[in-house]
Amino acid sequence: MQYRPLGRTGLSVSVLSFGASSLGGAFRDVNEAEGIRTVHETLDHGVNFIDVSPFYGLTKAETVLGKALHGVARERYYLATKVGRYGNASFDFSADRVTRSVDESLQRLGVDYLDLIQTHDIEFGDLQQVIDETLPALHQLKQIGKVRHVGITGLPMKVFTSVIGKTLPGMVESILSYCRYELNDTSLEAILPAMKERGIGVISAAPTGMGLLTERGTPDWHPAPAKVRALCRQAAEHCRKRGFDIVELAIQFSIAHPDIATTMIGSASPENMRRNIEYASRPLDPEKLREVQAILAPIHDHNWPSGRPENCDPLVGGESLFPSS
């Protein structure tokens, strides 16, 4: 396993990390014992960064992860969770709520401190409140040792630049972006130089696009437009006919960028995580990459709206969900 620095946090994180949303049943019903074995298997193979949230499974993921980490030496892993999102349409970025949320997460996870606390999907909130209220509250928790570092997460690229551009250096120590650095969408690349210049660590999640780049395909709730789904299915079928799994290519492509500290993938299956880690240890095949990117070229950087209209990126390759004024 390779490791990279997460910005200026001092954390050296595995290039492949574990997204624990899977423990909350985001993609399928999960057997708790199997989920716990998956966490142990993942740690045993060199992954040292785990991300979770109270939103995943409505606290189930944190609860199962806490059971999995019981008795595991604290120095073996870095632990991140989030505040602000508590249901599909339940958001609260107030100082009081995020402060209580950290205490609740610490209890469920069974730890004394978090290595990283992150605001969850800030595009659904008032960005000015995140700047003026949420981040200062989290930094107060940093001062008393409950958290070590503070970051923000979201889907639209503009939320990162909007918040970071209005905060003092050090207020945002990391960003977590998902579905924006993968075979069909590399939008994240545009802001990487600015993040590197500011010493902000970059976490990229969902290298398979939350199921887009898999043979199984997307769950029913997936927001991608029909054209994106169709061409991703075509790419996955091409890989199958060529004798390899598109997930392998997706992981290898995503971890290859040196300015992305870690790429997060989740599964509640020990076998799947062993396979993902094995994929990450192999070199990227340029010929396979060219073939798949050619199939996906018509939908490159196509996206979908997420959050409040004013926080969304300009829509590429789809019909807006918001009526024009």
Which active-site residues does the annotation give? Answer: 56
Give me Rg for the CA atoms of the chain: 19
For residues 154 and 150, what is the distance between their CA atoms, to the nearest angstrom?
A: 14
- The sign one gets for the Cα dihedral 74, 48, 144, 134 is negative
For residues 312 and 309, what is the distance between their CA atoms, to the nearest angstrom?
A: 5
**What torsion do the CA atoms of 165, 168, 169, 174 make, to the nearest 10 degrees?**
-60
Helix or strand (DSSP H, E) at 296? helix 286-296
- Record the tokens describing residue 219, joined without a space: 């769950």
* Residue carrying structure tokens 């999907």: 121
- Residue 263 class from Cβ within 10 Å (0-12 exposed, 13-18 middle, 19+ buried)? buried
For residues 2 and 302, what is the distance between their CA atoms, to the nearest angstrom?
A: 31
Reduce the DSSP state of residue 281 to 3 states and report it. coil
